[in-house]
Amino acid sequence: MYQYTQDDQTLIDERVAQFRGQTERFLKGELDADQFRALRLMNGLYIQTHAPMLRVAGPYGLLSSRQLRKLAEIARNYDKGYCHFTTRQNIQYNWPKLEEVPDILAELAEVQMHAIQTSGNCMRNTTTDPLSGVCKDEIEDPRPYCEIIRQWTTLHPEFAFLPRKFKIAVSGALHDRAATQFHDIGLHLVKNDAGEVGFKVFVGGGLGRTPVIGQVIRPFLEKKHLLSYLEAIVRIYNLFGRRDNKYKARIKILVKEEGLDKVAELVEQEWQSNKDSLELSNERIESIKAQFAPPDHETSADLDGSFHKRLQENPAFATWVQQNTVDHRVPGYRAAFISLKAPDAPPGDITDTQLDLVADLADRFSFGEVRSTHRQNLVLTDVKQTDLFTLWQELGAAKLATPNIGTATDIICCPGLDFCSLANAGSIGITREINQALDDLDYLHDLGDIKINISGCMNGCAHQSVGHIGILGVDKKGEEWYQITLGGSSENEAAIGDRLGPAVAKDQITRAIQDILDVYIKQRQEDESFLNTVKRVGITPFKEQVYANH
Amino acid sequence: MQIIKDKKITEDHWQFVADDQDIPQAGDITVSMSRWLNDKDALVRRGGRTGIRIRSTDQLEGIAGDLAGMPLVELDIAMFGDGRSFSQAWLLRNRYHYRGEIRAVGNYLIDQIFYLHRTGVDAFQLDESRKPEAALAALNDFSVAYQPSVN
Ligand code: HEM
Ligand code: SF4
């Protein structure tokens, strides 16, 4: 993975010093609440219902074991012994003390981490496919470009006060595992007719109150123009994005109101006048790429027979392998997901001891690295098949081996009413209920690939609008109700879910989800997935079932 | 009045003349972009020098032809969260090749001085919240940068 140079380190150290000064000025009353707000947000610090919340950047989801141990230490010493992985591959602490945040940032800086631009109206952490570099459907590893973008966006002097937040995601594979079409800018590495690899550029995607699918602004961008083109888009956005209404300030609204053609034309003009000054040299691309060279895989890892024997002898192990691991580019290796969706734990949460364990397992079995995923799990990307059994046992002992990756209990869920002042309804409790209702593993696995996303209000932190099943908390005369949508997807065939009908009461929501799953089982043809079934039969059969019973 | 200019604390005498005030015959002044565009001829005939104060909503194209030899452009930051001024500074330097003074005025934080300077602003109005020494120090908040800008 990318190792900091002296300059990288200096920059984050200086940032810590700057933030320490800002915090002191605020505590002395020299900065008012609004002024400090803008500055602390740029350092990932929110003030929530119960306490401040600190969001730490996980650059494109890649973390070393040393960094994990530091995250564990911070959870232990400054928080309540746990932290939370977000849908944008970042890490959140829910109970830090404001006065201690500068110290936390200083500790993070010791392991090349920071909270820069994890919040605020600026360019945020760039996210990517957690299987980058190991998946079989990859055109090119996106991580070097993510790192190039990370550097370019970090403390960009011109774009620190944009109309609104700005998120970039990059995918290098055929299958989009990074929700790129729901980002302000989505980049797909693609090959053109001449066989050259470049970027297909999407613009104007986003979730939240107004979910919008990104549109292609440029079908093929040469790699050397990556930064100049990004700069052109962001400059046009900075100058012309709306600032009169924060709900209309994202670039998706600019694209919607002005039209893609108009925005593309402005970007093109801007780009033409600046494209040569920011050209990426081949040497620079190659030198960053070298930092993401594949680890030393053994060439005969697939010859080992013990793995197959274990699979036959131990059905529970076989189930886990089937559900929580995926094929690897190198024969004899697999990528093993670590489920942060145990039935009784809030999705995405991880304790300090679990973090320490994952760090050890990463060192022993996966070249000392771990990735966080868009669906709030972790993955060890380079595990030899011989090691999977021990890995499974040790993960299992720590409740990290629930075999539910990609299933209906691999739920994305926001903090909801339990922790969030903006919430209309609880979401963690609903997740727990759904887990209890779906505790039969055979049934769960038979249901197959189903993505349920639950947000406690229309801000949509858990991306309910792109869940195969989306659940949105609404407030009805002070009571918690839930709006259901079906058929959303954040993958290649991006789609926003359709509303099933009127919202459902809290004591009915889990029953409604079970009804929906029953209809799917009845309607599906052979191996048809949930999403394809919904596409084929439409929402009517689901609607009839859900509202017939209530 | 003191300002920061070229990384030094400097005495300054420029006056901004609001649209409803009379133009003085002498002295160095800045006026709004609309006044400049309306009264350009009269303004250049007067005794003192004249610069333009630009709001973040003003379009720079309108004054592109007037920038050569312009002594001062002020970027009026109405609200510190309004980042358009940063792009305006960059455009003035890179697109319009403006070489005169760019001064940041209005409601901004010392914490933004480093960024403003990088995008091409070389002078900073001071006030209660932007004391001279703190503002000077802010120019050096960071010693490294990842991306090119103006400075
Ligand atoms: C109590 C804590 C939280 C509060 C008050 C909060 C608040 C908000 C608000 C107001 C928005 C809307 C912003 C907009 O539309 O531009 C938002 C968006 C978002 N939140 Fe949260 N949030 C919280 C926790 C979380 C957590 C834990 C996650 C991670 C799972 C998360 C992930 C997101 C994401 C990904 C978006 C962006 C959706 C988009 O692309 O527009 N939030 N949040
Ligand atoms: S979706 Fe709403 S309730 Fe859930 S975390 Fe976001 S703002 Fe809070």
Ligand nearest to the CA of A346: 1
Tell me, yes or no, whether B143 lies in a domain: no
Residues in chain A with CB shorter than 8 Å from the CB of B141 are: 14, 18
CATH of the domain at A461: 3.30.413.10
Q: What is the CATH number of the domain that holds A351?
A: 3.90.480.20
**Count of C-beta atoms within a 10 Å radius of residue A150:** 22
Q: In this predicted model, what pLDDT tens digit does every residue of A465-505 receive, in sequence order?
A: 999 999 999 999 999 999 999 999 999 999 999 999 999 99
Question: Same structural domain for residues A133 and A259?
Answer: yes
* A313 interface with B at CB cutoff 8 Å: no
First-to-last alpha carbon distance for chain A, in angstroms, is: 53
pTM of the model: 0.94
**Domain span at B29:** 2-138
Plot region of A462 (φ>0 → left; ψ -120 to 50 → alpha; else → beta): alpha
Measured between beta carbons, the chain B residues lying within 8 angstroms of A274 are 94
CA angle A164, A90, A10 (to 5 degrees): 85
Residues of chain B with C-beta less than 8 angstroms from the C-beta of A163 = 83
pLDDT at A277: 87
Give B71 to chain A, closest Cα distance, Å.
23
Confidence of residue A550 (pLDDT cuts 50, 70, 90): low
**Are both A138 and A285 inside the same structural domain?**
yes
Same domain? A66 vs A134? no
pLDDT number for residue A441: 92
CA A305, A309, A314, A315 torsion: positive or negative?
positive
Asked whether residue B37 is domain-assigned, the answer is: yes
Residues A275, A176 share a domain: yes
Residue B142: half-sphere exposure toward Cβ, Cα within 13 Å: 27
- Neighbouring-strand partners of residue A62: A371
pLDDT at A51: 73
Amino acid at site A67: Q
Q: For atom 2 of ligand 2, which residue has the closest CA?
A: A457
Which residue in this structure is represented by tokens 């001449």? Answer: A194
pLDDT tens digits for range A265-313: 999 999 999 898 899 999 999 999 999 999 999 998 888 889 999 999 9
Of A110, A139, A154, which marks where a domain is finished? A110
Q: How far is A220 from chain B (nearest CA, A)?
A: 24
Q: Which amino acid is at A388?
A: L
If one compares A388 and A38, the residue with the highest pLDDT of the two is: A388
Nearest CA to ligand 1 atom 26: A414
Check CB contact of A278 with chain B, cutoff 8 Å.
yes
Angle at the Cα of A432 (from A431 to A434), degrees rounded to 5?
A: 65
A59: nearest Cα among A144, A121, A135? A144
Return residues 472-491 of A near B (CB < 8 Å). Answer: none
- Predicted confidence (pLDDT) at residue A173 exceeds the cutoff of 80: yes
Cβ of A549 under 8 Å from any chain B Cβ?
A: no
Q: Tell whether A172 and A242 lie within a shared domain.
A: yes
Q: A422: Cβ below 6 Å to ligand 1?
A: yes
Best of A457, A464, A474, A481 to mutate for ligand 2, by most ligand atoms within 8 A of CB? Answer: A457
Q: How far is the CA of A119 from the centre of ligand 1 (A)?
A: 10
**Which B residues in the span 14-33 are in contact with A, Cβ-Cβ below 8 Å?**
none
Q: Are A291 and A147 in contact (CB under 8 A)?
A: yes
Cβ of residue A41 lying under 6 Å from some atom of ligand 2: no
Instruction: Give the end of a domain, one of A231, A263, A290.
Output: A290
The overall longest dimension of chain B from CA atoms, in Å, is 47
Q: Is residue B50 part of a domain?
A: yes
Tell the residue number behind the tokens 């591959």, with chain if given: A89
Pairing of strands A185-191, A197-203: antiparallel
Q: Using alpha carbons, list the distances in angstroms from residue A66 to A62, A156, A292, A367.
A: 12, 28, 18, 12
Instruction: Please tell me the distance from the alpha carbon of residue B109 to that of residue A398, in angstroms, as a whole number.
Output: 48
Tens digit of pLDDT per residue, chain B (151 long)? 899 999 999 999 999 999 999 999 999 999 999 999 999 999 999 999 999 999 999 999 999 999 999 999 999 999 999 999 999 999 999 999 999 999 999 999 999 999 999 999 999 999 988 999 999 999 999 999 999 899 8
Contact A7 B144 (CB under 8 A): yes
- B90 chain-A contacts, CB cut-off 8 A: 158, 235
- Helices and strands in chain A, H and E counts: 19, 21
Structure tokens at A215: 């549109």
Counting one residue from chain A and one from chain B, the pairs whose CB atoms sit within 8 A come to: 86
Mean pLDDT, rounded, for A498-525: 96
Alpha carbon distance A371, B99 (integer Å): 48
Q: What tokens appear for A270 in the block?
A: 């801007």
| The pLDDT of residue A549 is above 80 | no
User: Of all atoms in ligand 2, which is nearest to the CA of residue A421?
Assistant: 8
**What average pLDDT does this structure show over A435-451?**
95
Q: Which of A44, A79, A110 marks a domain boundary?
A: A110
Q: Tell me if A466 sits within 8 A of A494, measured CB to CB.
A: yes
- Of A306, A327, A320, A326, give the one whose Cα is nearest residue A386: A306
Residues A209 and A343 in one domain: no
d(CA A43, CA A40): 5
- The ligand whose atoms approach the alpha carbon of A463 most closely is 1
Say if residues A392 and A320 touch (Cβ distance below 8 Å).
yes
Give the integer Cα–Cα distance in Å for A30 and A13. 23
A117 part of a folded domain: no
Q: Is residue A189 part of a domain?
A: yes
Q: Give counts: helices (H), strands (E), chain B.
A: 4, 8
ipTM of this predicted structure: 0.97
User: pLDDT tier at A95 (50, 70, 90 boundaries)?
Assistant: confident
Rounded distance from Cα A126 to ligand 2 centre (Å): 22
CATH, residue B19: 3.20.20.70
The dihedrals phi and psi of A477, each to the nearest 5 degrees, come to 50, 45
Query: In this complex, which of A121, A157, A277 lies closest to B81 when CB atoms are compared?
Result: A121
Cβ count within 10 A of residue B97: 10
Structure tokens, A55: 């969001």
**Is residue A49 very low, low, confident or very high in pLDDT (cuts 50, 70, 90)?**
low
- What total number of domains does chain A contain? 4
Q: Does residue A420 line the site of ligand 2, with CB under 6 A?
A: yes
Confidence of residue A418 (pLDDT cuts 50, 70, 90): confident
CA A408 to ligand 2 center in whole angstroms: 21
pLDDT tier at A50 (50, 70, 90 boundaries)? low
Residue A316 gets which letter from DSSP? H
User: What's A195-239 look like in SS3?
Assistant: CCEEEEEEECCECCCCCECCEEEEEEEEHHHHHHHHHHHHHHHHH
Q: Using the atom order of ligand 2, give the atom closest to the CA of residue A420.
A: 8
Supply the range of the domain harboring residue A238. 127-290
Work out the angle at residue A104's Cα, subtended by the Cα atoms of residues A98 and A106, and round it to the nearest 5 degrees.
125
Residue B74, CA atoms < 13 Å, CB-side half-sphere: 24
Mutation target for A interface from B61, B86, B112: give the one with most A CBs within 10 A: B86
Residues A309 and A286 reside in one and the same domain: no
Secondary element (H or E) of residue A381? strand A378-384
What are the distances in angstroms from CA A419 to CA A104, A345, A425, B113? 22, 15, 11, 36
Query: What number of other Cβ atoms are within 10 A of residue A506's Cβ?
Result: 17
Give the Cα separation of A325 and A511 in Å (integer).
31
Examine the domain organization and report whether A430 and A538 are in the same domain.
yes
Structure tokens at A47: 């003030």
CB of residue A413 inside a 6 A radius of ligand 1 = no
Instruction: Tell which one of A84, A207, A422 to mutate to probe ligand 2, the residue whose CB is within 8 A of the most ligand atoms.
Output: A422
Q: Which two tokens stand for residue A488?
A: 């959303």
Q: Is residue A340 part of a domain?
A: yes
CA A182 to chain CA mean position, Å = 11
Q: Domain check: are A177 and A251 in the same one? A: yes
State the average pLDDT for chain A: 95
Phi, psi for residue B3 in degrees, rounded to 5: -135, 170
Strand order in the sheet with A91-93: A45-47, A52-56, A91-93, A82-85, A349-351
Q: Does residue A85 lie in a domain region?
A: yes
Residues A159 and A278 in one domain: yes
Structure tokens at A54: 């600190």
Q: How far apart are CA A548 and CA A546, in angstroms?
A: 6
Q: To the nearest whole angstrom, how far is the Cα of B21 from the nearest Cα of chain A?
A: 29
Q: Which comes out higher in pLDDT, residue A422 or A148?
A: A148
Q: Are residues A150 and A282 in the same domain?
A: yes
Are the CB atoms for A457 and A471 separated by under 8 Å? no
What three-state secondary structure class fits A485?
strand
Residues A421 and A539 in one domain: yes
- For residue A301, what pLDDT is reported? 87
What would the two tokens of residue A114 be? Answer: 């920071």
A364, A380, A385 from A368: Cα distances, Å: 7, 9, 17
Q: Would you call A156 an interface residue with chain B, using a CB distance cutoff of 8 Å? A: yes
pLDDT tens digits along A20-32:
999 999 999 999 9
H helix runs in A32-100, sequence order? 33-41, 65-78
| The pair of three-digit structure tokens given for residue B91, joined into one six-digit string | 């455009």
**Ligand minimally distant from the alpha carbon of residue A46:** 1
Dist. CA A523–CA A534, nearest whole Å: 9
| Res A415: pLDDT | 87
